[in-house]
Chain A
Amino acid sequence: MLFSSNVFLFAFLPAVLALYYLCPRGWRNPVLLLFSLAFYGWGEPAYLALMVATIVMDYLCGLEIVRQRSRGGRGRTALTLGIVLNLGLLAFFKYGRFLFGPGFPQLPLPIGISFYVFQSMSYIIDVYRQDAPVQRNPLTFGTYVTLFPQLIAGPIVRYTDVAQMLEHRQESVSQFASGVSRFLVGLSKKVLLANPMGSLWEILRQSQGTLAAWVGLAAYSLQIYFDFSGYSDMAIGLGRMFGFEFLENFNYPYISASITEFWRRWHISLSTWFKEYVYIPLGGNRKGLARQIFNIAVVWLLTGLWHGASWNFVLWGGYYALLLILEKAFLLRLLKKSPRWVGHGYALLAVMLGWALFYFENLGDLRAFLLRLVTPAASSCVSGVLIGYLPTLLAAAVASTPLLKRLPRRVQEAAPLRMVLQGALLLLCVAALVSQSYNPFIYFRF
């Protein structure tokens, strides 16, 4: 189920909110678990079994680590088994064809598997490292793994960050209200900015001309940012409605002045995960420059692969590994000495080209598109579209920076203004969602 759907907004959400708050406190986690499973099974009920199996497996792994430790061991066997099983699942469903070729059975990708497998792994690793207590209640553990706000598109919530909240959270009106605001911001990002930018990219991608290619790539860069950060905002907002606080996942990535900075601002929960569970265990930057370069390369090739089982994602990860290594070697020092706009221009350009690598799964298409970017050619018959989309494009560009945060506090905190604005955004989002199904037939009943 998607947040930006009628079923979610007007059936699922009212039902789960009503039941959650009508139930006594002890029932609230089971209610969340039940609804989260329904949320997950909505599109592909077949994979509900997989989800339940993942929960049971990681729950037992956690218990086993603690049991081995109580017998004087460190729980290494249980940890290894847990990691192998989790990665095995991911490899089977996501990378089978990529690794073993077209002979491997083609299975539909279980939705959100990359997110919940990483999340479950963080649990067993944290328990092993004694960063988090073991969870003995299977229902509470199930609630953690399936929590519908962040189940299918993150942020990747580490068990340590929510362990406390899972058992002792105190919902409040203030938190709920801030959740509503955050959810509406996210919904608007997705429906009012990401979707139109997506349509613009669709149109410009297929047309000819250099300008169209550049504007199209800018539109795609904005689409992917608003789509993903909008989803994270909705997740954070929904979490607050149920008393959870998730960590931030985006922090205006497009204002970065270097790629190092960009990856501190983009999909923070994923970079943190790789840093915590891969980069630092490999030795990070503590074992000399050569080892650090190797570690960066490993982390970024894995990050690329995490995004999809296809060579262009490996290329995309490798591209960022290269940029980050160059920055470590000398580029960052150079950028520091240059005027600020140089860094911003470089980072933005590098990120946009990165999105081209990200988008085109077919290397031939990628090459053709990159050539369009550098071959001067007039853009034919798209000027109307370009001019028409200019207001939305500009609005999206402004919204991707913290410019609005510079408004006087008086304006930002004016409650009536905020409520009117959010009400209007909600109506516009619903209008856009409803209109997707509005398709008149010109010729009545063929």
Chain B
Amino acid sequence: MKAKRSEMLTVALFCTFLGAVALGYLLLPKAAFSPLEKRNLADLPEASWSTLRSGDWGQGVETYMADHMPGRNFFVGLNAYFEYYTGRQAAKDIWVVEDRLVEAPVQADEGAIRRNMDAVNRFAQTLGQDTTLTIVPTAGWSTGKSGYPDAAVIPAIYAQAGENLIPLDITDAFQGRPELFYRTDHHWNSAGAYEAYAACMAHWGRQVLPKTYFQVTPVENFRGSTYSRSGLWLTPGETLELWQGSDRLTVTNGETQQPHDGVFYRERLEEADKYTVFLDGNHSLVRIHNPEGQGRLLVIRDSFSNSLGCFLAESYAEVVLVDLRYYRQPVSQLAVQEPFDDILICYSLGNFLSDTNLVFLR
């Protein structure tokens, strides 16, 4: 039987596709790092008798091939849009709410709340000094979309505050105001961080600098973490704003002792994740000095305080930011060695619920 033209074409196209991808694997240069995913891609596993026998080598090759698939980003995007248009985003961890990419609602876990509040309460009690606790609501909740439990969970967290621990509720400032968060990142933007700064200053009876005091530099084409995680590559970028206050601030962090002029690390704007422009991203211990400020502030924090810290430094002679995911020494010892006028524990709701390092707070 003679084959039809369409049959020959089917066979040719199928074999060409398989062959082209296979050749692509062999010939195309391999990237070691994926800027979108912010992780190192898998290496080709080394074949040895023991890895072959255990099946690890086969596993490794599958991981390697998945990581280095020719046109990988195209396929990831195709899958993301397919799932989005068939309505399956409800089961994913990034939701599209109007023109925003926000994280899906947090899962309130009573056990995690109790565990972390116990740690925080114990810390405040041992220290014997007033410690302020602020939980940042999520960007998704600020849009008003249903399903976000922030308005119930955050008060439930505050309700467990013990002696010396003083909740500072900032949720009202963010309710129905998604413009205080980035559209393509899970963090608050500079305007959002300013709101929290203003609340803190009022809380401690300090002077709040007006918005007009800051000189705003816009940086275009920011695409943040929720963009990377969504795979929805056609989402337009947005403007990241640098609010420049005093030009006399200097920063030192745990790794380098050389003070950095200013709180913005502009060379970071060339990278995929521009949010690291604030204080150079995450470090275990960061000190911001301000020769015109007064008093000292300790912030126990997550990455939301990278931008908040820049504002707080306007008021204090020194702000010390501690990130418990990296800082392993007892913080209470630090507080005894160099006394602080104010202490702030500031976490985003998602991180507070999922964080497993707060228990190391001593």
Listed in ascending order, the chain A residues whose CB lies under 8 Å from chain B are: 1, 5-7, 9-11, 13-15, 17-18, 42-46, 172-174, 176-178, 180-181, 196, 199-200, 203, 381, 384-385, 387-392, 415-416, 418-419, 422-423, 426-428, 430-446
Interface residues of B in 207-223 (CB under 8 A from A): none
Question: Could you list 19 further interchain pairs (A-B, Cβ under 8 angstroms) beyond the known A384-B90, A427-B75, A442-B229?
Answer: A1-B58, A7-B58, A15-B22, A17-B15, A17-B18, A46-B53, A174-B7, A178-B7, A385-B91, A388-B88, A390-B87, A418-B6, A419-B9, A434-B76, A439-B37, A440-B37, A440-B228, A441-B37, A442-B225
Give A392 to B82 CA distance when docked, in angstroms.
Answer: 11
B61 surroundings in chain A (CB, below 8 A): 7, 11
Q: Is B186 an interface residue (CB 8 A)?
A: yes
Cβ-neighbour of A440 out of B36, B67, B325 (below 8 A) = B36
Q: Interface majority SS on B: helix, strand, loop or mixed?
A: helix
Interface residues of B in 30-85 (CB under 8 A from A): 36-39, 52-53, 55, 58, 61-63, 65-67, 69, 72, 75-76, 78-80, 82
| Most interface-central of A203, A385, A430 (chain B CB within 10 A) | A430
Contact B86 A392 (CB under 8 A): yes
Which B residue's beta carbon lies closest to that of A437? B66
A1 surroundings in chain B (CB, below 8 A): 58
Contacts A196-B88, A435-B231 hold; do A11 and B53 have CB atoms under 8 A apart?
no
Contact A177 B88 (CB under 8 A): no
Listed in ascending order, the chain B residues whose CB lies under 8 Å from chain A are: 1, 3-4, 6-11, 13-15, 17-19, 21-22, 25, 36-39, 52-53, 55, 58, 61-63, 65-67, 69, 72, 75-76, 78-80, 82, 86-91, 147, 186, 225, 228-229, 231, 273, 281-282, 303, 325
Contact A428 B58 (CB under 8 A): no
Contact A444 B11 (CB under 8 A): no
Cβ-neighbour of B67 out of A7, A17, A437, A445 (below 8 A) = A437
A199 surroundings in chain B (CB, below 8 A): 91
Contact A177 B87 (CB under 8 A): no
Which B residue's beta carbon lies closest to that of A414? B6
B231 surroundings in chain A (CB, below 8 A): 435, 438
A-B contact pairs, 26 of them (CB 8 A): A6-B66, A7-B58, A9-B18, A10-B18, A10-B21, A45-B55, A174-B4, A174-B7, A177-B8, A177-B10, A180-B11, A199-B91, A200-B91, A388-B90, A390-B87, A392-B86, A428-B78, A432-B79, A435-B76, A436-B66, A438-B37, A438-B231, A440-B37, A440-B39, A444-B38, A446-B325
Contacts A1-B58, A391-B86 hold; do A419 and B79 have CB atoms under 8 A apart?
no
Give A44 to B38 CA distance when docked, in angstroms.
Answer: 33
Contacts A392-B86, A392-B88, A440-B39 hold; do A10 and B22 have CB atoms under 8 A apart?
yes
Give A203 to B88 CA distance when docked, in angstroms.
Answer: 13
A173 surroundings in chain B (CB, below 8 A): 3, 7-8, 11
Cβ-neighbour of B38 out of A10, A172, A440 (below 8 A) = A440
| Nearest CB of B to A233, in Å | 15
| Nearest CB of B to A9, in Å | 7
| Most interface-central of B1, B21, B90, B282 (chain A CB within 10 A) | B90
Cβ-neighbour of B282 out of A381, A388, A443 (below 8 A) = A443
B75 surroundings in chain A (CB, below 8 A): 427, 430-431, 434-435
B14 surroundings in chain A (CB, below 8 A): 180, 426
